[in-house]
Amino acid sequence: MESTPQSAGTGAAPASVERLFQYSLLGMVTCGYLAVAGSGYLDPPTIALTACALALRFVSTLGLVRLSLSQTVVNVATLCYVAFYPLDYLFVSREFTAATVHLVFFLAIVKIVTARTDRDYMYVKIIAFLELLAASVLNGFLNFFVFLALYVVFAVATFASAEVRRAANGPVRVVRSGLRRMPIRLSLMTLFITGGILSMTLGLFFFLPRTARVAFRHLIPERYHLPGFSGEILLGQLGEIKQQSTPVMHVRFIKPDRPLSLKWRGATLARFNGRGWFNAIPEHEDRLTVERGGLARLIDARPSRRTERLEYEVHAKDIGTGTLFFAGTPEYVNINAAFIRRVQGGSFRAPFSSPNGLQYIGYAYLSGPASAAELAPEKLPPVERAEYLELPRLDSRIAALANQWTAGAPDPEARAAAIEQHLRRDYSYSLDLLKVEVADPLAHFLFERRAGHCEYFASAMAVMLRTLGIPARVATGFQSGIYNPVSGWQVIRASDAHSWVEAYLPRSGWTTFDPTPPDPNFAQMGLGTRLSLYMDAAETFWQEWVLNYDLEHQLVLATKVQQTSRGPRWFESLNGAVTQLREDVVAMAKRYGAPLAAAVVFAGLAIVYGPRVREAWAVRRRFGRVQRGQADRSDASLLYLRMLRLLERRGIEKPAWVTANEFVRLVADPVLAPMVEDATALYHEIRFGNRPTAGPRMLAVIERMERS
């Protein structure tokens, strides 16, 4: 142990502790930034600029780049953005939350790049906290918890290393012992403290439900919008949506308790202008009263034949319209709302659009017409019939093709079935979007491209039915999605967006037709899909038992714990779970045994030899620095130890009680003695004379000794 007295003035923090502080502080800001970016509210310029600032600070901390900006430039830039903030709020973002987030991230970029003093570092800590605070309001996904846990780790490391820096930079006497292990000890202490914090938080979590969770949610703008459910859709829009894999809805069947392959109907569109579908503005709507208990009746009659009853729970993300999605013929809905809007076409909407999405329970019949008001009238009202037969100026070939396909069909039912069959058989499904805009997309689809996605097929059939005098409309919604056996919920993604046709037939009323052929590129469930299901199950658990954890959930959890502890069934359940887990592990070992074994071997080698490799790499870097004439006092000891190891291999050992100068006189070898004397003199120049330029000369002497 070597004791070095500090002067009465300020000292200098150890380089290892300073690096740990800089990296930890950068980690805090990065976690806050990723937590906000993971919410989906940050615009691409803000994401890109902040990422560039973080990367620039990282390479600067590594010493690869030197940043130098005058305080005047920083102050002027800050004042200019503060003056721009009202303009951002009024004309650019037009939202308080978005403009404020832009301001916070601008200040973050400035401070991340220019932080040099303790005051700057304090500002960076405050900015990192503000980022995480904003993410707690904006981010409702599981990734927030991941970034929060990492933020706590970096925060503990930052404040611990900052305390060491403060003590080292103060007017004290410091005993420098074990500084090489200081970052490791601080890191272990950080993990220990973080584990304690998270453990106590987890304990408090189940006793303190979030009764005020939505206190700030009214400040958040709509996050996710899907066209087609708000009254308008252009040909090609659903193709863009179907290329996204974002989950937009989760469904759990209560009755029957098995997943079913059903369409989830959201809205209908009545008018076609040649390029897309839309509804009349304003739409006609009826208000359906929600009774006490949250139950609202959606239809006034039942289908004429008995069909299977459906009961399902729906958790739908906010898509900006409040559209309610139903499978089958909806009869009742249980929802937390004052009333339900029934709009034209038999669709339903909630009176609000919550950033948390919509949660409701639907009661429906498995099959039947679209809505009760349209169950069995033999004729549509003249106004509605005219609307569902209205057509713009069309290519004459479309009507001719409809007549050709339906030649010989005796009634409207047969004509509709014939058109559906021809489209499914003679045309192909494709998600490739048009590279250039065409004048008549529907005619281009039917006569030239002969391939497209669902809204092209639905539009073609609806228009062709209208040319034959059969009222028709386009329905939009989702296909059934994929069942997640981990969570027990049906996962419906944006890629499941779908459109189909509802035709009014004299004997059946509104009847569903789907002219879209199956996707030939539909992928079977692979490892990536299975992993995504586990992630989705974790996300579902986060939404249900963390964000929505209230007094009701607390009571449900307590009841389950009480019921489980009363009887011996808990042991049977545990035994079954262990058996299933063992079978899963054996199956996984058979399938992924070789890669897992290789990974274990690699991890073992990394644990055993990793520190040695890391130390050898660090020594090599230090020798490179010495070779460039940048040696410091600690490098002198490293070079001297290298010389002693070389001499030990030659049979010459230095006793521990002998000084360096005394050891020179003990070397009797006539070839090595002069070189040992030169190396020792250069060692003293570096160690006590603080002459970095002596490093390359000492290294050259040692290399001569190795060659001799």
| Tokens representing residue 273 in the block | 């202008």
Stronger pLDDT, 203 or 159, i.e. the higher one: 159
- Residue 376: per-residue pLDDT: 47
pLDDT tops 90 at residue 427:
yes
Q: Which domain holds residue 492?
A: 232-513
pLDDT digits (tens, 9 = 90+) for 97-109: 778 888 888 888 8
Q: What is the dihedral of CA 319, 323, 324, 330, to 10 degrees?
A: -150
Sort strands 509-513 and 232-234 into parallel, antiparallel or unpaired: unpaired
CA dist., res. 105 & res. 148, Å (int): 18
| pLDDT number for residue 14 | 67
Residue, of 247 and 239, whose pLDDT is higher: 247
> pLDDT tens for residues 43-92?
888 899 999 999 998 888 887 877 777 778 888 888 888 888 888 888 88
Banded pLDDT at 524 (limits 50, 70, 90): low
- One domain, residues 182 and 262: no
Positions of E strands within 113-242: 232-234
Are residues 74 and 128 both part of a single domain? yes
pLDDT at residue 556 tops 70 = no
pLDDT for 213 equals: 47
Residue 523 lies in a domain: no
**pLDDT exceeds 80 at position 162:** yes
pLDDT higher than 90, residue 445: yes
Q: Look at residue 693 in the predicted model and tell me its pLDDT.
A: 84
Instruction: Pick the more confident residue, 532 or 515.
Output: 515
Does a structural domain hold residue 609? no
- Conformational region of residue 488, where left means phi above 0, alpha means psi within -120 to 50, and beta covers everything else: left
Q: Are residues 172 and 260 in the same domain?
A: no
Same domain flag for 180 and 73: yes
> In this predicted structure, what is the pLDDT of residue 311?
93
Q: Which of 138-152, 254-268, 303-317 has the highest mean pLDDT?
A: 254-268
- Say yes or no: 197 and 237 in one domain: no
pLDDT surpasses 50 at 493 = yes
Q: Degrees (nearest 5) of the Cα angle 428, 430, 435?
A: 125
Q: Which of 513, 545, 565 is the last residue of a domain?
A: 513
Counting residues of the chain whose pLDDT is more than 90, the rounded percentage is 20
For the segment 455-463, the average pLDDT, to the nearest whole number, is 94
513, 546, 573 - which closes a domain: 513
Residues 274 and 408 grouped into a single domain:
yes
Judgement on whether residues 240 and 197 belong to the same structural domain of the protein: no
For 139-162, what is the mean pLDDT? 85
According to the model, what pLDDT value does residue 141 have? 72
Residues 583-609 pLDDT 10s: 766 776 676 677 777 887 888 888 777
Looking at residue 348, the DSSP 8-state letter turns out to be: E
Domain count, the chain: 3
Between strands 428-429 and 232-234, the pairing is: unpaired
Q: Of residues 302 and 138, which shows the higher confidence score?
A: 138
Domain boundary among 464, 498, 513: 513
